[in-house]
Amino acid sequence: MERGEPTRDVNADVDIEGSFSGYQRDRVFYNPDGPAERRYFEAGWLFGLDGEHDGRCTVPVDVDGDGDLDLALLSLQGLRLFENRAAPARFARLRLMSGRSFAGALGAIVRLTAAGMTHSDHAKVLDGFQSQVPTDLHFGLGEADDVERVRVEWPSGAVEVWEDLPADRLIVLTEGESEARVEELPRWPGVARARREATAEQAWAAWSPDDDGAAAAVVRWVRAPKAGEPLTVPEDLAALAREFPEVSWTLVMPAGTEPAACERARETAPVGFAFVLADERTRALTFGHSQVAVPDSTFVLRGGSLRRAFYRPTKPEELAPLLASLRDEDPYPQLLVWTARRRLEADLFEESLALFEEAAALDGSLATAHEGAGRALLGLGRTAEAEAAYLAAVAADGDYAPGHVNLGIVRTQAGRFAEALAPLWEALRIQGEYAPTLLAFGEAAVHAGRPTEALDAFLRAARSEPENTAAHLLAGKLLGQLGRYDQACESLQRAVELDPENEEARKALELSTRLAAGDG
């Protein structure tokens, strides 16, 4: 950026299969004896935290506001949240303020004493590789009923002490104020806990119940019936289905279920229910989690997105408030776009188009939704409609370069080369000297009979990306067509140096060399 060069995501076109680190499992070192002893055991497998993803950073954070620290882990495969389900213990949560913000407190040293033991920490925003941590400081108090004393050494040099503070609260300490402000921790409503995985959309794209028009979809693994017993809809789900008729319900039967029992179950299932047999596709709904779907595991989805996963028996009082909250929830347009793009990557053009169009209907100013719809329409061979979608994208946001680029490309593909130049030129106004767009403009200009503009675009592309073989090749070929053989040889020689195996560049260089020497 400092040199004014265009930036790009070098991983955007790389579809990584497997693991960068050879499937090394995560490790957790656990001290069962407390601070009196320093014996640590590798116990990641015991706590279910020994994932084989490519982890990059971990952050302890109280996600649900219950007073204990959960774990957020970012890997190359996405974000994972691990809920702390240990027995409750006493704690203190400190928030330091200097003036009206945390910034002046950054670096403050805190010493907290409870039950005769002193703990220390410092105010920070970074801790560990690529990790931003919560600015509130968390202290575990064991069985202590209160905080005896907090001593803060502020960056300004001031030292202040607060005494007799309550446990299990958020305590706000402001430099220069003798009274602490004590608040309850903000908690998540209800009893449902989120277990969202980054691969949810991919798994849902691979297998999806019929939830057309449904406000949500509930998928539950059911127990295998005993010999002679029929497969039926569990009564708790039947009651919920009566309360939430807009929800679609899918029951996944064990792989060994007799086919005849499956057929009878499908025939007798109430409206809104579907029975499917467990297979590789349904197992994908565990979303790569180390836990597996056991009988009575329940997944709740909406709009192609996993909302909750319960890897245990689930009570109606847990599902009812969740389904009620989804009933009136408007879809988030950007999430629909993100989900649609995953479908598009899997060549699921019809599904992605429906999601892009839904996002555009919710927010007509969302250029990404219109442009995505255009790409899906192209995949379906509906070129005229794709062009209209790209026009809608640039109308929604005149500075959205992908909309202009794709509009120019679709017109080029239709043979309307002169019409393609205007949107491609507009994209260059936004992007600057971006070689792929310059090359697209140059090729359209050649076919439009405007060789001078085409040559200018090819040469600019070669200057902006000196290692771009296509830029040197196209510039060289056009220079040759214009009779400027010496310059053509220079460009083509560079193309051959960059890609010695490029047969087209080698033949063009040979011809230009002969013409430059007068050997017609």
pLDDT digits (tens, 9 = 90+) for 238-291: 888 888 888 888 888 777 777 777 777 777 777 778 877 776 455 545 444 444
In Å, how far are 144, 439, 478 from 411, measured between CA atoms? Answer: 72, 15, 22
Residues 267 and 377 placed together within one structural domain of the fold: no
Return the exposure string of 249-269: e unless at least 16 CB atoms fall within 10 Å of the residue's CB, then b. bbbbbeeebeeebeeebeeeb
Helix ranges restricted to H, 448-499 = 451-464, 469-481, 485-498
Q: Is residue 15 part of a domain?
A: no
pLDDT of residue 454: 94
Nearest to 237 by CA among 303, 323, 326, 327: 323
Nearest to 205 by CA among 341, 332, 335: 341
Domain final position from 278, 295, 327 = 327
Domain final position from 327, 351, 382 = 327
What's the pLDDT tens digit per position in 51-100? 777 788 899 999 888 899 999 988 877 788 888 887 888 999 999 999 87
Specify the 3-state DSSP secondary structure of 31. coil
C-alpha gyration radius of the chain? 31
Q: Is residue 11 part of a domain?
A: no
**E strand or H helix at 269:** none
Q: Is residue 7 part of a domain?
A: no
pTM of the full structure: 0.46
pLDDT of residue 11: 59
Residues 394 and 511 placed together within one structural domain of the fold: yes
What is the rounded CA–CA span in Å between residue 356 and residue 376?
9
pLDDT of residue 306: 67
**E strand or H helix at 401:** helix 401-413
Domain final position from 301, 327, 353 = 327
Specify the 3-state DSSP secondary structure of 242. helix
DSSP β-ladder status, 90-97 and 170-174: parallel
Residues 337 and 318 placed together within one structural domain of the fold: no
- 156 and 172 Cβ atoms separated by less than 8 Å: no
- 403 and 367 Cβ atoms separated by less than 8 Å: yes
Residues 279 and 256 placed together within one structural domain of the fold: yes
pLDDT of residue 287: 44
Q: How many folded domains does the chain comprise? A: 4
pLDDT of residue 198: 29
The amino acid occupying position 379 is G
pLDDT by residue for the chain (520 residues), tens only, comes to 667 777 666 656 655 555 666 667 888 888 887 767 788 888 887 777 877 777 888 999 998 888 999 999 888 777 888 888 878 889 999 999 998 788 889 999 999 999 999 999 999 999 888 888 999 999 999 889 999 999 999 999 999 999 999 999 999 999 999 999 999 887 765 433 333 332 333 333 333 443 444 467 888 888 777 777 777 888 888 888 888 888 888 888 777 777 777 777 777 777 778 877 776 455 545 444 444 556 778 888 776 566 777 777 888 888 888 888 777 666 568 777 877 887 888 888 998 999 899 889 988 999 999 999 999 999 999 999 999 999 999 999 999 999 999 999 999 999 999 999 999 999 999 999 999 999 999 999 999 999 999 999 999 999 999 999 999 999 999 999 999 999 999 999 999 999 999 999 999 999 999 988 886 5
Q: Is residue 12 part of a domain?
A: no
pLDDT of residue 188: 67
Instruction: Supply the DSSP symbol for 68.
Output: S
Q: Is residue 424 part of a domain?
A: yes
Residues 355 and 450 placed together within one structural domain of the fold: yes
What is the torsional sign of CA 9, 14, 15, 21?
negative
Q: Which long-range contacts (CB under 8 A, 24 or more apart) does 401-404 make?
A: 401/427, 401/430, 401/431, 401/437, 402/371, 403/367, 403/370, 403/371, 403/374, 404/430
Percent of the chain with pLDDT over 70: 85
**CATH code of residue 442:** 1.25.40.10
pLDDT of residue 520: 57
Q: What is the DSSP string of 114-134?
A: ETTEEEEEE--SB-STT-B--
For the beta sheet containing 78-82, the strands, ordered from the edge strand earlier in sequence to the opposite edge, are 55-61, 70-75, 78-82
Neighbours of 512 (CB within 10 A): 24
Token pair listed for 225: 């019936």
Cβ neighbours for 11, distance < 8 A, ≥ 6 positions apart: none
Residue 79 β-bridge partners:
74
Token pair listed for 128: 């560990």
Q: Is residue 5 part of a domain?
A: no
**CATH code of residue 79:** 2.60.40
Residues 360 and 476 placed together within one structural domain of the fold: yes
Residues 118 and 265 placed together within one structural domain of the fold: no
User: What is the extent of the structural domain holding 124?
Assistant: 53-188
Residues 251 and 220 placed together within one structural domain of the fold: yes
- 416 and 447 Cβ atoms separated by less than 8 Å: no
Report the C-alpha dihedral over residues 504, 505, 510, 514, rounded to 10 degrees.
110
Residues 462 and 488 placed together within one structural domain of the fold: yes
Cβ neighbours for 92, distance < 8 A, ≥ 6 positions apart: 112, 114, 138, 139, 141, 147, 165, 167, 168, 169, 171
Nearest to 216 by CA among 242, 190, 249: 249
Residues 264 and 184 placed together within one structural domain of the fold: no
Residues 62 and 204 placed together within one structural domain of the fold: no
Residues 469 and 349 placed together within one structural domain of the fold: yes
Q: At what angle do helices 503-516 and 485-498 cross, to 10 degrees?
A: 150
Cβ neighbours for 325, distance < 8 A, ≥ 6 positions apart: 190
Q: Is residue 149 part of a domain?
A: yes
pLDDT of residue 14: 59
Per residue, what are the HEC states of 336-366? HHHHHHHHHHCCCHHHHHHHHHHHHHHCCCC
Neighbours of 247 (CB within 10 A): 22
Q: Is residue 404 part of a domain?
A: yes
- 478 and 454 Cβ atoms separated by less than 8 Å: yes
